[in-house]
């Protein structure tokens, strides 16, 4: 479904991505782990053209593009295949939950309003917000706002959803409700690429885990390979920092 080769991105003299390769098949749930500053978020933003890569090639289904100088029509076609869930929700504060969800359908996909409303209500129901159609972001908790963000992505019926640290802005007690929604979506067969620090989600839901550090993919494998039998010293050091000393219970 998605394949990228040799993606580079710098901001000034700061080289963030140093030649990243990645492939994702339909139905995959791929989690990217790594320390802050390792390039995880930048990679997602380059995939959705929120940032322009300095170098790299991507294949999205039948579309082949140079990530640095992709044509507008190709960018538009790729964005029709991808939905993005942001770290800080990115909701319109002056629109209700339902209006936030249907905005992309009406404006971006030219879906008739009545049809968009039906799709939007189904998407909000899927994330457990049937009673919040008319609520504004200020009337919702952080977890509920992020669930609106996920509903907005689901409503687009994309080929893949990119999640950029979707729980990092939440209070700890709200993290579980968002992860539960993501797990349900994954169980329905949705293809997902998730940047997160939630190790339990990576262990329980992902079929592949990628460890990034210093702008490169250091190691990848299934959760057992990464958490139980990591090969690379950088991966081992990272896991030692972020997991309890005895994490046999985690495995």
Question: Domain range spanning residue 174?
Answer: 2-87+160-242
**Average pLDDT value for residue range 82-86:** 96
| Residue 124 in domain | no
Number of domains in the chain: 1
Q: What φ, ψ does residue 60 adopt, rounded to 5°?
A: -115, 100
pLDDT tens digits along 112-153: 999 999 999 999 999 999 999 999 999 999 999 999 999 999
Which pLDDT value is given to residue 218? 98
**Average pLDDT value for residue range 71-89:** 94
| Residue 201 in domain | yes
Query: pLDDT higher for 8 or 244?
Result: 8
| Residue 63 in domain | yes
Which pLDDT value is given to residue 250? 60
| Residue 145 in domain | no
| Residue 212 in domain | yes
| Residue 101 in domain | no
pTM: 0.95
Which pLDDT value is given to residue 246? 60
**Average pLDDT value for residue range 230-241:** 94
Which pLDDT value is given to residue 194? 98
- CA–CA separation, 91 vs 102, rounded Å? 12
| Residue 250 in domain | no
| Residue 165 in domain | yes
CATH of residue 77's domain is: 3.40.50.300
């Amino acid at each position: 479904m998605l394949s990228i080769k040799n993606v580079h991105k710098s901001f000034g003299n700061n080289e963030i991505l140093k030649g990243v390769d990645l492939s994702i098949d339909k139905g995959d749930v791929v989690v990217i782990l790594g320390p802050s500053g390792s390039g995880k978020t930048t990679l997602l933003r380059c995939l959705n053209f929120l940032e322009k890569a300095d170098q790299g090639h991507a294949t999205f289904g039948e579309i082949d593009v140079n990530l640095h100088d992709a044509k507008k029509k190709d960018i538009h076609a790729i964005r029709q295949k991808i939905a993005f869930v942001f770290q800080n929700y990115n909701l319109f504060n002056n629109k209700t939950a339902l209006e936030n969800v249907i905005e992309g359908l009406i404006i971006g996909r030219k879906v008739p309003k009545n049809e968009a409303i039906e799709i939007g209500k189904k998407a909000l129901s899927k994330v457990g917000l049937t009673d919040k159609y008319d609520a504004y972001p200020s009337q919702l908790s952080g977890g509920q706002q992020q669930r609106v963000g996920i509903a907005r992505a689901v409503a687009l019926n994309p080929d893949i959803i990119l999640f950029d640290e979707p729980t990092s802005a939440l209070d700890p007690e709200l993290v579980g409700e968002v992860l539960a929604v993501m797990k349900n979506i994954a169980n329905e067969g949705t293809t997902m690429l998730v940047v997160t620090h939630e190790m339990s989600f990576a262990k329980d839901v992902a079929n592949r885990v990628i460890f990034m550090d210093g702008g490169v993919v250091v190691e990848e494998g299934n959760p057992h390979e990464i958490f139980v039998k990591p090969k690379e010293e950088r991966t081992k050091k990272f896991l030692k920092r972020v997991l309890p000393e005895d994490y046999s219970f985690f495995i």
